[in-house]
Structures are given as C-alpha cells and as structure tokens.
Amino acid sequence: MPVSMLDQTHFPLACNHMEVLGRLEGKKEWICEDCGKRTDLEVEPFKAQLAKELDAVHKIDLQAKAKGGMITRL
C-alpha cells in the first residue's frame, strides 16, 4: 500500500536538520528533536516554502487516490 508523500518528504528546519513534512502540517513552530533549536513556521522563508511543499504533496496524493489508489499515513 503506497505511503502518503507527507510521510516521505522532508523539510529543512532553521538548524539545517530535516523533519518529515507531515509532522509540520498545521504547526506554528517546531522544535528540532536533534538539537532543540526552534523554527518559526509562520515567518519567511519557512512559511512560503512549507505552504508550497504541502500543496505539492497534497496534489500528488490526490492524483494517486484519483487513480484508485489507497494512501496510507504513517
């Protein structure tokens, strides 16, 4: 069963560590689990980049569902 792109795509945090995109959806900030640095997801460049990435992966998941596929979230 295909896994949602939200769970396969990584997003760069302010500290340059990466986090799974799906974990950031709907969040205003994220504290890196590796180093503890805070990333404000409501300021640029993170706000625009996060919106763009989320839009892209939602479209990919919708296309897969439209073709009759089942998408699994981890």
pLDDT confidence of residue 12: 97
The pLDDT tens digits along the chain (74 residues) read 688 999 999 999 999 999 999 999 999 999 999 999 999 999 999 999 999 999 999 999 999 889 887 888 88
pTM tops 0.75: yes
Quote the CA–CA distance of 54 and 27 in Å, as a whole number.
Answer: 12
Domain ranges of the chain: 5-66
